Structures are given as C-alpha cells and as structure tokens.
C-alpha cells in the first residue's frame, strides 16, 4: 500500500472528506451552469420569436388592405344592338362607360375636367362592362347598374393613404376630384369590396388591375418542374453514391464537388441556365420549364446531401439482416433502406424546395423578370414567379403597389406553408418508427 492510498483511507475513516461531500459541494455550481445555459437558450428563442413577430406584423399590417379594393357603382344604359356579335371587341365599351359617367355628372363639360373625371375610374371598367354584356346578352336595351373598379388613387384615398387635409398641390387628387368622390359617397355609390382581381389577374401597370395569380401559377409550374427533376435525380444519386459506388478517388471527387455546389451563389446557376438552356439549347425564355431546370440545379446538392445523411442514419444491422437472408443489394435498398431514409430525404427536399421558391437572382438571368400580363397556362408559357413579382412591385412608384407587395409576400408565405404542410403529411405517413 503506497502513501497516498493510506492517506485517503485515513481521511475517509476519520469521516472528514467523504465523496458525497465533494459531490454536494460541486452541485450548486453544476445546477447554476445548467440554469444559465437554459436561460441563454430561452433568450435566443424569445429574440427570434420577437423578430419573426415584428416581421409578420409589419407585413400583415401593410398588406392586408390590398385584399380590399374600391368599387364605384355606375348606371350604364345599354342600347339595343350595341354589341357587335361577330366581333365583340369592336364595340366601344370605353365610350359607353364614359357616357355613363357623364350622365352621372351632367355639370362637367370642360375637356380638362372631363379627363380628370374619367381618371377616377379604372381603365379596367370597360373590360368589366364587356364581360358583363357578353355573359348576359339578354340585358341589351336596358340600363344595368355595374360596380366598376375605381382608379388606384381613389382606392388610396378611401384607404386613407391619400389625406384630404394636405394642400391640393401635394395631393394626387385635385379638389374637384375630391368633390366628385364626395358625391359618390353621399349616394352610397362607392365602397370597398373583396379584391378578386388580386387573386385572379396577372401583372399590370395599373395597380387596381394587377394580381398575383399569374405569379402563383408561374411559381407552381416552376416548382413542379424543379420537384419532378430534382427529387428523383437527387435520390438516385444519393442512393448510388451511398449504397453502390465503390469508395475511390472518383467518388471522393464527386462528393467534394457536390458539397461545393451547395455553396455556389445562386446567380451562377442563372448564368449557366442562360448560356446552356437558352442560348445553346434554345429553350423558350422566361418560362417555368427553364426556371425549374435552373432551380433544380440549385436544389440538387441540398437534396443529395440530406438524402445521403438519411441513408447513413439507417442502422447497418438492417442491411446485414437483409443481406444475411440472401437478398441482392437493390432489394435491400428498395425494401428496407429507402423506406427508413425517406422521411429524412423528404426533409432535405422540402428545404431545397423552400429555397428554390424564394429564389430571385438566377431567374432574373433567364428573363423571368419580364413584365408578363398573361396568366401562364403551361410549362412553356412566359410567366412570372412570386419572388420576382414581389421584387418588381417593390420597385414600382405607385403608392398602391406598396400594399400589394406586402400582400404578395403574404401569398408567398401561404404557398410556402402549404408546401411544407404537404411534406409534413407525407413524412408522417412514411415515418413508421418501429
């Protein structure tokens, strides 16, 4: 027995320093550390929640008013036979609207005044009239009362963004125009209604005619292309690299490059798309097809990396069990490994897709920043996507586009949330943790 053990034996026999005392002495410090750590964690969660809440309130408070739009009720007399049956476009709906306005304000005669008066109404009013007449041809020869779109300045006034108190010279509406609007208000001919245009139209130079639907459909088609390409390719690549490929210099090289690709700035993919898909292959510009392919290039590394991690996490004992009964490698992967790895692969896919959904830079390169009014009907129609639409509106000078920008962000978030929800449901279905 050496000296030190004798000493400690003596100590414990005299009962002065027991292990439990040492443990007890340290306890307070240990718990203190834990408490501090928990406090820091809580603090960071509160901070991020506060930022998120701030962001959301600012977007919602700015954007919710875009869901309403000012309409004006006009009594429009329709003469019998005014509709050119063969070619309805030739009928002068604009003229009829102007007549109806003039009828309502008989006192306005000056040319200048008339122009100011007409500008209270949206140029979309004529289209509304046309649709109304085409849908109900029987109403020809009677007077119909129609709620037509007000101009965006009127809309801004009704929503309080243009103040009546400010001097006329600094206001986008003249005193005269205000008086005309007051008359409409007195007659209950002006009111805010749900803004169907915003959810059904494409882009427009006139804010009251601009809608997000074209961009939503464009984003949908683009995402579909991205998903259809990157999910199967990504998973096939991950499965091959992880389960089948020999471990050698070539596969190491591929692995390094995949990791590098994940860190490449997205605009580079846009340039690549421009050079390869548009200029070399001559694919149509500004289309979801090309946009989807470019975003696929961007999401692939994310999906491959996440899928490989998911495959690595499948316990090797499962593989051995399956190999041990004489299954081929493919049977092991298809029956046992993939089902277990699929939830993780879906998580990676949804992260990649969410990134792709919010991506603007590479799409600018392939012309998706163009001003596109039509709503895309397929993968090869020119179309906008939501983030680019938001970028375009945020850049527009009209006051009415401010609220539409925020509203578009809300729609984008809703799109993102529903995309995630689908992924969560799918993942739950596959996630049978036995």
Partner 1 sequence: MQEVVNKTTVEKRILAPRDSRKTIGTIHVSKPRMVCRNVNVYYGDKQAIRNVSIDIGCNEVLAMIGPSGCGKSTFLRCLNRMNDTIDSCWVTGEILFDDKNIYDPSIDVVPLRAQVGMVFQKPNPFPKSIYENIAWAPKIHGIVESKSDADEIVETSLLKAGLWEEVKDRLDQPGTGLSGGQQQRLCIARAIAVSPEVILMDEPCSALDPIATAKIEDLIEELKTQYTIAIVTHSMQQASRVSQRTAFFHLGDLIEVGMTKDIFTKPSHQLTEDYITGRYG
Binding site for partner 1 (CB under 8 A): 247, 315, 317-328, 331, 335-336, 340, 432-434
* Nearest distance, CB of residue 330 and partner 1, angstroms: 10
Nearest residue (CB) to partner 1, 229 versus 323: 323
Cα separation, 98 vs 94, whole angstroms: 6
* Nearest distance, CB of residue 324 and partner 1, angstroms: 4
Residue in 412, 430, 423 with CA at minimum distance from that of residue 63? 412
* Nearest distance, CB of residue 242 and partner 1, angstroms: 13
Nearest residue (CB) to partner 1, 19 versus 317: 317
Nearest residue (CB) to partner 1, 311 versus 340: 340
* Nearest distance, CB of residue 318 and partner 1, angstroms: 6
- Taking CA atoms, 360 is separated from 133, 226, 364, 369, in Å, by 41, 15, 6, 9
**Residue corresponding to tokens 């040319």:** 111
Specify burial of residue 362 (Cβ count, 10 A radius: 0-12, 13-18, 19+): buried
Q: Which H helix or E strand runs over 144?
A: strand 143-149
Residue in 299, 292, 291 with CA at minimum distance from that of residue 235? 299
Report helix, strand or coil for 77.
strand
* Nearest distance, CB of residue 308 and partner 1, angstroms: 17
* Nearest distance, CB of residue 340 and partner 1, angstroms: 7
Nearest residue (CB) to partner 1, 147 versus 430: 430
**Beta partners for residue 76, in sequence order:** 144
Nearest residue (CB) to partner 1, 193 versus 429: 429
Nearest residue (CB) to partner 1, 326 versus 397: 326
Cα separation, 224 vs 230, whole angstroms: 10
* Nearest distance, CB of residue 12 and partner 1, angstroms: 23
Tell me how crowded residue 377 is: count the other CB atoms within 10 A of its CB. 10
**Residue corresponding to tokens 């007399």:** 77
Nearest residue (CB) to partner 1, 72 versus 345: 345
> SS3 letters for 287-338?
CHHHHHHHHHHHHHHHHHHHHHHHHHCCCHHHHHHHHHCCCCHHHHHHHHHH
């Amino acid at each position: 027995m050496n000296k030190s053990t004798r000493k400690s034996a003596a100590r414990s026999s005299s009962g002065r320093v027991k292990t439990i005392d040492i443990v007890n002495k340290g306890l307070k410090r240990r718990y203190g550390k834990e408490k501090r750590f928990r406090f820091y964690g809580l603090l960071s969660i509160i901070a991020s929640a506060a930022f998120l809440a701030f962001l959301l309130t600012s977007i919602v408070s700015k954007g919710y008013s875009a869901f309403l739009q000012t309409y004006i009720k006009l009594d429009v007399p329709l003469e019998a036979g005014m509709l050119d049956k063969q070619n309805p476009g030739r009928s002068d709906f604009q003229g009829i609207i102007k007549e109806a306005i003039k009828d309502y304000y008989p006192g306005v005669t000056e040319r200048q005044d008339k122009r100011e008066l007409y500008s209270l109404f949206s140029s979309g009013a004529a289209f509304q009239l046309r649709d109304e007449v085409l849908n109900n041809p029987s109403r020809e020869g009677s007077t119909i009362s129609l709620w037509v779109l007000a101009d965006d300045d009127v809309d801004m006034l009704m929503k309080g963004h243009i103040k009546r108190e400010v001097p006329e010279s600094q206001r986008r509406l003249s005193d005269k125009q205000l008086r005309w609007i007051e008359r409409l208000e007195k007659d209950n001919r002006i009111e805010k209604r749900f803004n169907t245009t915003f959810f059904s139209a494409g882009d427009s130079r006139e804010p009251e005619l601009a809608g997000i639907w074209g961009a939503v459909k464009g984003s949908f088609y683009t995402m579909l292309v991205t998903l259809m390409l990157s999910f199967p390719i990504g998973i096939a690549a991950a499965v091959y690299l992880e389960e089948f490929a020999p471990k050698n210099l070539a596969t190491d090289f591929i692995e390094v490059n995949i990791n590098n690709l994940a860190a490449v700035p997205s605009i580079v993919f846009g340039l690549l798309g421009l050079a390869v898909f548009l200029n070399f292959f001559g694919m149509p510009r500004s289309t979801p097809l090309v946009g989807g392919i470019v975003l696929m290039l961007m999401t692939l590394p994310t999906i491959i990396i996440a899928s490989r991690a998911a495959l690595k996490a499948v316990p090797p004992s499962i593989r051995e069990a399956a190999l041990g009964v004489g299954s081929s490698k493919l049977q092991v992967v298809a029956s046992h490994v993939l089902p277990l790895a699929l939830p993780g692969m879906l998580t990676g896919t949804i992260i990649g897709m969410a990134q792709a959904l919010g991506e603007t830079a590479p799409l600018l390169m392939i012309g998706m920043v163009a001003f596109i009014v039509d709503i895309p009907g397929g993968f090869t129609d020119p179309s906008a996507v939501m983030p680019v639409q938001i970028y375009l509106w945020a850049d527009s000078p009209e006051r009415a586009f401010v609220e539409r920008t925020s509203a578009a962000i809300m729609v984008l978030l809703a799109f993102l949330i529903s995309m995630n929800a689908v992924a969560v449901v799918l993942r739950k279905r596959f996630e049978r943790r036995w």
